[in-house]
Amino acid sequence: MKPSLAKGTRDFTAQEVSRRKYIINVLQNNFELFGFQPLETPSFENLSTLTGKYGEEGDRLIFKILNSGEYASKVNQEDWDHKNHQKLIPQISDKALRYDLTVPFARFVAMNHGKLTFPYKRYQIQPVWRADRPQKGRFREFYQCDADVVGSESLLQEVDLVQLYLKSFSDLKIPVTIHMNNRKILSGLAEYAGITDKLIEFTVALDKLDKIGKEGVVKELLEREISQESIDKLEFLFNQSDDALENLLQLKEKFAGNEIGLKGVEELEFVLTQSMNLGVDMQNLVFNITLARGLDYYTGAIFEVKADEVAMGSIGGGGRYDNLTEVFGVKNIPGIGVSFGLDRVYLVMEELNLFPEEATTQVEYLFANFGGEGTIEALKMIMQLREKGISAELYPENAKLNKQFTYAEKKGIKNLVFLGEEEIKNGTVTYKNLEAAEQKTVSLEEFLG
């Protein structure tokens, strides 16, 4: 059998694992600096927990898990013969791999709200799965790094999450732009154009503007039975200026008497103004009126982060989802959260050559194996180095020195250590720095520092 990987998945080499850990450590450190606490949830949930939370398109991308045992024998034969998928799925699958970290988090909050202290701030770094079509920067299995706060309606949370994004990407040296919108503005636009009953169809199409362009969006809106008259009223969406506050002013005029739209403008204006007051450069913060993120659960602010110097989709996103726990029977727990796409962040850093040398795990010392008494002495010294937090290993066989040199070079080990009879007798250590091609003999005390 020829070995192969499942589409949309990857193996990670030592260097890749080390670099991913570097990114995770930066994010984890910032999450904790901002007061978030860690949480982990199971890799799969009840299918009913996940369905209906991601919109029509998202539901199609949920990886279902077949029931164990003789599930096929219990399936209604008529549904099977007619390939009636809607009726078949509940009969053959009642669990699914998690699609994101937000819905499992909402389920956790709903189950434990009596024990939690609100506002409750949590971060979560775990893999998620989507039955998506694999392409550059898009995988079927990938990590999300989320930070959410629930139990507060304060818009200062939005301001704080802007700071969290900017500090984290600054620490990773990635120049980014945060695109922002507000779901209430989108609802206001639907009301303004007289298509309130088509809000989801409108936002799903609008969200694709950067992929399919204006013509593609208009075509999709017409296909979704949105009239040309309504589309004409929304023409201004495709001609926004670079000045966020000027665009908000224009909206205020169009939204006269439109309560929900004006509320969205007011909320976004607050977040932008307060961020500027904290010294955020408006070049890093963009009001993107076409940003919709086609998820059913956002009710307020929407965020999307894009890397400035790499052509790739978003490397982070999130928003406010005031009603998410309500579907689990728990009301009045507002929430807001952001997510960092670890895999895309990795690709951006790789493309821009941003990984520091310490992001790659390397063995500091390889002890050459000469056999005999020297082997035990080398192992004793390796133990002492490891106790000091210095990585070291012994070449396992008494092989030709040339072979041991080659091993060290291929593994990227910095120093090759020689502990022969002469060194043991004199209490010294000889080591060669393979990068600088320099060899030194020093006392045992000096070597162990």
Please state the residue numbers annotated as binding site for L-histidine.
100-102, 130, 144, 148, 293, 297-298
392 and 364 Cβ atoms separated by less than 8 Å: yes
Q: How far apart are CA 299 and CA 34, in angstroms?
A: 24
User: Residue ranges for the binding site?
Assistant: 100-102, 130, 144, 148, 293, 297-298
Angle between helices 183-192 and 199-206 (to 10 degrees): 110
Alpha carbons 190 and 365: distance in angstroms, whole number: 65
Query: Whole-angstrom Cα distance, residue 100 to residue 345?
Result: 17
The first and second tokens of residue 88, run together, are: 């078949």
- How far apart, in whole angstroms, are the C-alpha atoms of residue 292 and residue 301? 10
Query: Look-up: residue for tokens 């139990």?
Result: 151
In 3-state terms, what secondary structure has residue 97? strand
CA distance linking residue 291 with residue 182, whole number of Å: 9
Q: Which residue has the tokens 């949930």?
A: 45
CA distance 92 to 76: 10
Using the CB atoms, write b or e for 289-312: b if 16+ within 10 Å. Answer: bbbbbbbbbbbbbbbbbbbeebeb
Q: From residue 137, how far is each of 10, 147, 178, 330 by CA, in Å?
A: 12, 21, 19, 36
Say if CB 417 and CB 370 are below 8 A apart: no
Q: Answer yes or no: are the C-beta atoms of 327 and 53 closer than 8 Å.
A: yes
> Rounded to whole angstroms, how far apart are CA atoms 58 and 204?
11
Other CB atoms within a 10 A radius of the CB of residue 156 amount to: 11
CA dist., res. 36 & res. 27, Å (int): 11
CB 314 within 8 A of CB 302: no
How far is 395 from 328, CA to CA, in rounded Å? 57
Residue 435 CA neighbour count, 13 Å, CB half: 8
